[in-house]
Chains A and B, each alone.
Chain A
Amino acid sequence: MIGELMDPRKTFGKAVTEIAKENKDVVVFSADSGKSSGFGDFIDQFPERYFECGIMEQGAVGMAAGMATAGKIPVFCAIAPFVTCRPYEMVRNDMGYMKQNVKLVGRNCGITYSDLGVTHQSLDDFGLMRLIPGMTILAPQDPVEIEEACKAMIEYEGPVYMRIGNPKIPVLFERKPFVIGKGDIIQDGEDVTIITTGSCTKDVIEANEILKEAGIKAKIIGLPTVLPLDEDLIRDAAAETKKVVTVEEHYINGGMGSMVTELLSDMDGVTVKRLGIPNIYATTSSNYQELLAYYDLDAKGIAKSVKAYLGK
């Protein structure tokens, strides 16, 4: 099931470049990080549609929104906290309130910048973005899904925040059109529902192997769209298994797990265990895998938490 490893940033940049060949309205904004956001090819092929702002994320969001009023489709990608926390009010007003067709992409999300520390990690972006009415949040789970998500994001008219990681990620799924707002049942099972998103899905799939050995049959739901949440899929699964686990590279407060918990709060007998980073300034490590393990977000840690939750 786990396939070829690919760089999410390059995959993203190439996907936007491909789309831009057909769609002349696509323009790219950069805040001194175009190449590291994967836009090397775009810069070579469409220099006139590439706007280097320098280090000014707040201004860049505003300018992108201004350009969107004239019918263009600006894509602005930088390190996740610098496009979410820093220009939050600009995203709220210029993209959200004004419903402008700007595509914001936070890269090196979660703790993938494990070595650079708290300022560069993004554990609150789902939480911040979900509070903006009308916002769509995408968190594709593998390289193929990143490509398809880019197509869907550009076709969709309205503000979008997409979050991608940094280390190479494996191909997990067959290619299929990305439908915003739809999740997938990756595996059916009746003991527990595990809901995963973004880069965590690989580890959940690996954790499942450990759970299988322990005799646990998990229903696994992948959410490449975090907002709007695929409510029917989640409620149906919760009604079946009663026990639900959420897994995300985000604070356990305010993110996808909180959204799922709020959604299921009126269902009798349903409980939710949220896995993620506790509400602290996460520690630093030059080794991303070690940091995931430190917070029990690697396959072993996830399996351990699920087993404990089920009392096994």
Chain B
Amino acid sequence: MNKEMLQKTANQIRKDIVTAVYSAKSGHPGGSLSAADVMTYLYFEEMNVDPKNPDKADRDRFVLSKGHNAPALYSCLAEKGYFPVEDLKTLRHTGSYLQGHPDMKHIPGVDMTSGSLGQGISAAVGMALSAKLFNEDYRVFTLLGDGEIQEGQVWEAAMFAGAKKLDNLIVIVDNNGLQIDGKIDDVCSPYPIIDKFAAFNFKVIAVEDGNDFDQLDKAFNEARLTDGQPVAIVMKTVKGKGVSFMEDQAGWHGKAPNDDEYKQAMEELEKAGEA
């Protein structure tokens, strides 16, 4: 792992996220920023993907089950080379291919359309099952929100994946602790998340700080070695990570910065990038 490169890339992706949401005048910065590090790790370290050949059959798949993190996904894809970084500024603009939620039919590199919470993980399970059935060795990664796992469909998919021992499936839970209406444990607590996935026959890997590349690296290396059961990486993160006034604030779940806020956010990120 080239930690310095990953940190630099994640910082650039954070700037892209904030810029895209600012340009759209709407969007979801909070969860995009909490997941920016793990998504950077996936696209720039872990997954076998090729931006020049987005549909290659043996690629690893990524399903953004928490589809509102579209700004983070689009930023990763753009920085990886799937489409021009400049296009991020067209996010949510009329006629742009960069819609509010990921659309596999129009965006290169998007493996699954998502947006309605709970649906992505089922599709990821279907992909993993297909690989098993046809002896293909790609892996399927899917990122869920901690609020998202309140959806019953998540547990249908988890039960199936556990029962069928889909060890080519890696479920990642972005445990930033907040959802639109507030703290997840106040709204309707999904805790204990680790025990729940364990009870569904997953190998669970807990990550204390999901915004730390050393810890992510350790977790994904452990996931790679897991045999005979699906993996759930439950990582604690900070919502809005990297922009001081967005950090740990439910209010920044789905809101765009104004001119002053954008300026401040970019200054902070510039500074962090120089460090």
Contact = CB atoms under 8 A, between A and B. Distances in A.
Interface in B126-172: 126-131, 133-134, 136, 152-153, 156-157, 159-160, 163
Contacts of B163: 54
A99 interface: yes
Q: Which applies to chain A's interface (DSSP): helix, strand, loop or mixed?
A: helix
B130 A70 contact: yes
Contact of B125 (A66, A72, A93): A66
Contact of B159 (A56, A66, A72, A89): A56
Interface stretch (B38-46, B89-97, B115-123): B115-123
Interface string B240-275: 000000000000000000000000000000000000
A51 B129 contact: yes
A54 B125 CA distance: 15
A234 to B, nearest CB: 31
A90 B123 CA distance: 10
A93 B113 contact: yes
Contacts of A89: 116, 119
Interface string A64-93: 111111101010000000000000011001
A217 interface: no
Contacts of B125: 59, 62-63, 66
Contact of B123 (A48, A51, A94, A99): A94
Interface string A186-203: 000000000000000000
A60 B160 CA distance: 9
A93 B101 CA distance: 12
Interface in B55-105: 63, 103-105
Given A58-B156, A69-B112, A93-B113, A63 B126 contact: yes
B111 interface: yes
Contacts of B156: 53, 56, 58-60
A97 B128 CA distance: 21
B131 A70 contact: yes
Given A70-B131, A98-B113, A54 B122 contact: no
Contacts of A94: 113, 119, 122-123
Nearest to A69: B127
B124 interface: yes
Contacts of B112: 66, 69, 98
B153 A62 contact: yes
Given A89-B116, A93-B116, A59 B133 contact: no
B123 A65 contact: yes
A50 B142 CA distance: 24
A59 B153 contact: yes
Contacts of A59: 122, 125, 153, 156-157, 159-160
Contacts, number: 97
Interface in A1-50: 27, 48-49
A61 interface: yes
B122 A63 contact: yes
B99 to A, nearest CB: 11
Interface string A98-113: 1100000000000000
Most buried by B among A53, A59, A67: A59
Contact of B104 (A63, A64, A67, A98): A98
Contacts of A93: 113, 115-116, 119
A134 to B, nearest CB: 11
A51 B132 CA distance: 12
Contacts of B152: 58
A97 B114 CA distance: 10
Nearest to B55: A69
Nearest to A87: B153
Most buried by B among A63, A68, A98: A63
A65 B131 CA distance: 14
Most buried by A among B103, B112, B119: B119
A42 to B, nearest CB: 15
Nearest to A62: B122
A25 to B, nearest CB: 9
21 contacts: A48-B133, A54-B160, A56-B156, A56-B159, A58-B152, A59-B125, A59-B157, A61-B122, A62-B123, A62-B126, A66-B122, A67-B130, A69-B126, A69-B127, A70-B127, A70-B134, A70-B136, A72-B133, A89-B116, A90-B119, A97-B103
State the 4 A-B residue pairs at the shortest beta-carbon distance, nearest first: A66-B126, A62-B122, A59-B156, A66-B123
Interface of A: 27, 48-49, 51, 53-54, 56, 58-70, 72, 74, 89-90, 93-94, 97-99
Interface of B: 63, 103-105, 111-113, 115-116, 119, 121-131, 133-134, 136, 152-153, 156-157, 159-160, 163
